[in-house]
Structure 1
Amino acid sequence: MDPDIALFVDVVREGSLAAAARVWRLSPAMVSKRIARLESRFGVRLLHRTTRRLALTQSGAAFHAEVAPLIAGLRAAQDRMAQAASEPAGPLHVTAPTSFGRLWIAPYLPTFLERHPAVRLRIDLTDDFVDVIGGRIDIAFRITATPPSGVAAHGLTVNRRILCASPAYLERAGAPENIEDLAAHRLLAASGQLPWRLAGVTVTGESWIETNSSEVVRELALAGAGIALRSLWDVSDALADGRLVRIIPRHEGAASVALWALHANVGTPAAVPALIAHLTECWRDTAWMT
């Protein structure tokens, strides 16, 4: 869109240079200069300008009749494009940790897609590191103390982790009263999760059962196999109904570990903030969201 032609159309619509200047946030002198520049380009006078009135010349009227509908059409097209860009649509590739994605993302996706039917969603659940940029991921939900550099990172909530065990295990093995007592108990952890870094203290040891699955650890704890360090989002239901009991409550996982939403710094589709906002609203009243 030629800005001088668009300005000429607005001068005619507003009826004066001063009125058009206010719309364009220019000085009247600058508007006059740009109209003169347009007339110089075409070699014809388009407007009769006096201190009291403004009128189209014959050439100006003919030119205005041709370009005004074109400018209106271009502006309408730009408005439609801006509206389309602000509406969530198109492909959206999401990745999340396996357990968290199954429990706290998948159940809320149908309502998101009902609200935004033009989104084509793909969700991959994995506990492995995912390269957001290299993997062409639109949103990566990650639980970590150190989000990667080079991407936008939104901290959603502290990932509170607590020590817990089943009532059956505690009845059989006794309830530990302090961290040192854990040395005499069976610890449960997935590969790479020990040592446990709690606030102010580190717990070393080996898992009684070796597994690469954090979900297996949860099931082992529920079955009475030992003591686990679990995220509240993972065990809040079991704590509420008594299948698990919190132990040594003065010690939690380090508060530096948080739930993050990661995405590229530029070119973010509208579906990205829409999904983040949708999920955080769904989680707002849960027991683990702080």
Structure 2
Amino acid sequence: MNPDYALFAQVVEAGSLSAAARALAISPAMVSKRLARLEARLGVRLVHRTTRRLSLTDAGEAFHADLAVILQSLREAEHRVMGTSAHPAGRLRVSAPTSFGRLHLTPHLHAFLAAHPRITVELDLSDAYVDLIAQRIDVAIRIAADVPTSLAAHRLGRNRRILCASPRYLTQSGTPATPAALPAHRLLAADGQWPWRLVGPDGRRRAVDGISHVRTNSSEVVRELALTGVGIALRSLWDVGEALSNGTLVRVLPDWEGPDDLAIWAVHPRAAAIPPAVTAFVAFLKETIDPEAWEQPQP
């Protein structure tokens, strides 16, 4: 397949030429040049470019829809070929949220590679939504309430979220006694994480809206800001469990936490033949990830 087709799909999924360039590890100028070359070869404009945003033309929309079908067919063909091998082998592209991947995948990846020396792993860590088909991802970690029916999903555990802050912040700023007191404090959240939805005793619910004291698109930055005493954050136990255990973070409003609507999933595209490498990696995740360790946060 023409490599510019995959580049076009990456541009669409990334939402900008610069983001696509970062994902492809090439310069934005090269992305622009190759996209223009593709448009010239097809004789149509695929993308409207402005300084602020990128949008598809009608022709671009139709072409991208057709490409998604082709990329899925290519993936299934690869799966059928790889499925003929008795041993897991080949390239395995894995995507995960940045913090989860750093804390709970990379420390154990050596064991997977030792057990399956014929598999080559490409690990993409990003907090952005990843289109598995367009970006040809084999397995992804998703933290979500549900998973599209186009994906096969394997539940790895639930995703509990609690309010927390450093002892230093609470000493300096006081400890809120009720959710209604939270807006008077310095709150921390990544872009797109407002409002906080909390569930309290007897199932009472409360929505807390606000503006992050430090604006960021990174959940890892939010955790580090909480650890260094900047404010109060709503964090997953898998992300702050160790900090709660050693006392560098403490729970705030321990009777309140995020609703039990999110779970941690390993997902992959549905296909007639699932490659052994995918099956092996999902089994590795189920054996390695122990959500029970996150179920008992320190008060």
Instruction: Rate the CA distance shift 1:117–1:179 in 2: closer, same or farther, 3 A.
Output: same
Give the TM-score taking structure 1 as reference length: 0.68
1:132–1:262 contact (8 Å) kept in structure 2: no
Structure 1's unaligned 5+ residue stretches are 1-80
Q: CA deviation at 1:94?
A: 0.4
Q: Does 1:250 align with 2:255?
A: yes
User: In 2, Cα distance between the equivalents of 1:133 and 1:259?
Assistant: 20
2:206 maps to 201
Equivalent pair of 2:185/2:231 in contact (CA under 8 Å): yes
1:97-108 correspondence to structure 2 within 5 Å: 97-108=97-108
Equivalent pair of 2:158/2:291 in contact (CA under 8 Å): no
Give the CA deviation at 1:127.
Answer: 0.9
Alpha-carbon distance in 1 for matches of 2:134, 2:190: 27
Which residue of structure 2 aligns with residue 282 of structure 1? 288
Give me the whole-angstrom Cα distance separating, in 2, the residues matched to 1:85 and 1:274: 13
Q: Distance in 1 between matches of 2:279 and 2:266?
A: 10
Is the CA contact (8 Å cut-off) linking 2:90 and 2:120 kept in structure 1? yes
Aligned-partner SS, 1:278: helix
Q: Secondary structure at the match of 2:294?
A: coil
Residues 207-256 of structure 1 show CA distances to partners (whole Å, capped at 9, x for unaligned) of 11111111111111011111000111111110000000011112111211
Which residue of the partner structure matches residue 63 of structure 1? none
- State the SS of the aligned residue for 1:287: helix
Shift of 1:280: 2.4
Q: 1:268 aligns with which of 274, 281, 299?
A: 274
Percent identity (aligned): 53
CA contact 1:138–1:268 (8 Å) conserved in 2? no
Deviation sequence 1:87-136 (CA, Å, 0-9, x none): 22111110001111111111111110100111111111111111112221
Tell me which residue corresponds to 1:167.
167
Q: Pick closer, same or farther for the CA change 1:276–1:82 going to 2, 3 Å.
A: closer
What's the TM-score once normalised by structure 2's chain length?
A: 0.66
Contact 2:82 2:275 in 1 (8 A): no
| Coordinate RMSD, CA, aligned | 2.0
Give, as a single letter, the amino acid of the residue that structure 2 aligns with 1:280. K
Q: How far apart, in 2, do the equivalents of 1:224 and 1:150 lie? A: 42
Distance 1:279 1:151 in 2: 17
How far apart, CA to CA, are the structure 1 residues paired with 2:287 and 2:120? 21
**Is 1:219 the equivalent of 2:247?**
no
Please tell me the residue identity of whatever aligns with 2:235. Answer: R
Amino acid at match of 2:231: G
Q: Is the contact made by 2:164 and 2:252 (CA closer than 8 Å) also made in structure 1?
A: yes
Contact residue 157 and residue 289 of structure 1 kept, 8 A: no
Give the aligned partner of residue 68 of structure 1.
none
| Residue pair 1:283, 1:289 contacting (<8 A) in 2 also | no
The alignment status of 1:176 with 2:176, answered yes or no, reads yes
Q: Give 1:181 shift.
A: 1.2
Which residue is 1:143 aligned to? 143
Q: 1:216 to 1:157 in 2, by over 3 A?
A: same
Q: Which amino acid aligns with 1:101?
A: G
Q: CA deviation at 1:146?
A: 3.0
Question: Which residue number corresponds to residue 117 of structure 1?
Answer: 117
- 2:173 is aligned with what amino acid? A
How far apart, CA to CA, are the structure 1 residues paired with 2:145 and 2:82? 37
SS at match of 2:293: coil
Structure with max Cα Rg = 1
